């Protein structure tokens, strides 16, 4: 198994996903915003924005095991018509 790489991360930029981390935890419903590289440490970071927030967070790419693309049509949001 190849793992979560920089090229895979690029394909998810701008999309809403669940981030599954190598420690078994999950960061749910975030939009991948940007990839940052720290050349001095030879490490890449993923910047993400949680749903409904304007705050940006970052996590090392090497901490991510895999991502699951979300279908936002399936997500129920309070306050929407028809709720």
State which residues form the domain around 61: 6-74
Residue 82: per-residue pLDDT: 52
The answer to the question of residue 31 being in a domain is yes
Domain with 31 in it: what CATH number? Answer: 2.30.30.720
In a domain, 80, yes or no: no
What pLDDT sits at residue 75? Answer: 59
Residue 67 lies in a domain: yes
User: How is residue 46 written in tokens?
Assistant: 């993923």
The segments of the chain whose pLDDT lies below 50 read 1, 83
Q: What HEC string does 14-27 produce?
A: CCEEEEEECCCCEE
DSSP letter for 50, please: E
- In a domain, residue 68? The reply is yes
Domain count, the chain: 1
| Spatial separation of the C-alpha atoms in residues 39 and 70, rounded to whole Å | 31
pLDDT at 23: 97
């Amino acid at each position: 198994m190849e793992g979560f790489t920089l090229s895979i991360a690029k394909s998810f930029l701008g999309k809403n996903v669940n981030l599954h981390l190598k420690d078994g935890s999950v960061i749910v419903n975030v939009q991948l915003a940007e990839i940052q590289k720290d050349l001095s440490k030879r490490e890449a970071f993923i910047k993400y924005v949680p749903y409904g927030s304007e705050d940006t967070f970052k996590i090392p790419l090497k901490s991510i095991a895999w991502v699951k693309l979300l279908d936002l049509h399936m997500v129920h949001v309070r306050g929407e018509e028809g709720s």
